[in-house]
């Protein structure tokens, strides 16, 4: 399959990307912060975008194409909270998110004519493929499974939601989360494929922060952002764990 390409035509060149590098943070807290940013970035002049990079404690999230039958545990385990399960409005199916996976949540104002949703999805796939290529992991986009495969195994997932023409949610790439056990969730409708990780493909340790830096660099290049800032989240955004970052301009 040919690698998906997107053409931003300079749409983001004069826009600023605000980047939040978070520690391990509960999925629910990150979702609430995304929703806050969607509200802020939907207002005129819509000249900013944001990118949240983090990982999560274990959780299963179910997108618009997922269902109970895509989760390999009984209803009582879900009801009693043995494994947290959250339904969400993003695209894609079920994701088993856990420590060792890089979660990337771009909050990006779109434009129906100059940068519509299909072009944005292409940009996410291209970013993931470029990150894996940098680490010398051959990979292909699998639109049917809403993700990226290394060989026959899923290694990354893509799922987007849009509100007021602002895209949020995003993608997840398995850096070093365990993959030896049978999969807890199906890669697609009744597609029970054991996932893989960058660690498994390389047979060598891979640092999450190195993949995070690579994703930021490729995402910024693919979309063409002229500048970005590393920001601390507002004091009340993550009361359970607020990392400290210095605001630094980059061009």
Q: Look up the pTM and report it.
A: 0.88
| Residue 80's pLDDT band (cuts 50, 70, 90) | low
- pLDDT above 70 as % of the chain: 84
Phi, psi of 170 (to 5 degrees): 155, -105
Q: Is the pLDDT reported for residue 2 higher than 50? A: no
The encoded tokens of residue 214 equal 């690579």
Q: Rounded distance, CA 204 to CA 8, Å?
A: 35
Q: Is the pLDDT reported for residue 174 higher than 90? A: yes
Q: Rounded distance, CA 120 to CA 8, Å?
A: 9
Question: Is the Cβ–Cβ distance between 168 and 88 less than 8 Å?
Answer: no
Question: Is the Cβ–Cβ distance between 242 and 22 less than 8 Å?
Answer: no
What contacts 24+ positions apart, CB below 8 Å, involve 113-120?
114/9, 114/11, 115/8, 115/9, 115/11, 115/12, 117/160, 117/162, 117/167, 119/6, 119/7, 119/8, 120/6, 120/160, 120/167
Q: Is the pLDDT reported for residue 131 higher than 90? A: yes
Rounded to the nearest integer, the mean pLDDT of the chain is: 87
Q: Rounded distance, CA 55 to CA 40, Å?
A: 23
- What's domain 16-246's architecture? 2-Layer Sandwich (3.30)
Which tops the pLDDT comparison, 67 or 181?
67
User: pLDDT by residue (tens digit) across 180-232?
Assistant: 676 777 766 566 788 999 999 999 999 999 999 999 999 999 999 989 999 98
Question: How do the domains of the chain map onto residue ranges?
Answer: 16-246
SS3 at position 85? strand
Q: Rounded distance, CA 167 to CA 181, Å?
A: 33
């Amino acid at each position: 399959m040919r690698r998906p390409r997107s053409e931003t035509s300079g749409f983001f060149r004069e826009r600023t990307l605000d980047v939040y590098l978070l520690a391990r943070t509960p999925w629910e807290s990150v979702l609430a912060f995304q929703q806050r940013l969607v509200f802020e970035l939907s207002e005129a002049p819509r000249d900013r975008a944001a990118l949240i990079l983090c990982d999560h404690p274990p959780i299963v999230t179910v997108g618009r194409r997922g269902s109970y039958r895509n989760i390999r545990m009984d209803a009582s385990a879900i009801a009693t909270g043995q494994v947290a399960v959250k339904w969400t409005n993003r695209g894609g199916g079920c994701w088993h998110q856990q420590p060792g996976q890089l979660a990337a949540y771009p909050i990006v104002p779109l434009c129906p004519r100059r940068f519509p949703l299909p072009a944005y999805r292409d940009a996410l796939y291209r970013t993931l493929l470029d990150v894996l290529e940098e680490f010398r992991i051959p990979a292909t986009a699998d639109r049917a499974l809403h993700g990226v495969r290394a060989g026959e195994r899923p290694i990354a997932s893509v799922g987007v939601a849009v509100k007021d023409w602002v895209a949020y949610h995003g993608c997840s790439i398995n850096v070093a989360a365990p993959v030896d056990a049978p999969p807890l969730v199906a890669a697609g409708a009744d597609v029970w494929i054991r996932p893989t990780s960058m660690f498994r493909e390389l047979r060598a340790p891979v640092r999450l922060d190195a993949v995070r830096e690579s994703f930021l660099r490729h995402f910024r290049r693919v979309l063409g952002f002229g500048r970005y800032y590393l920001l601390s989240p507002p004091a009340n955004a993550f009361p359970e764990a607020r990392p400290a970052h210095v605001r630094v301009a980059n061009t």
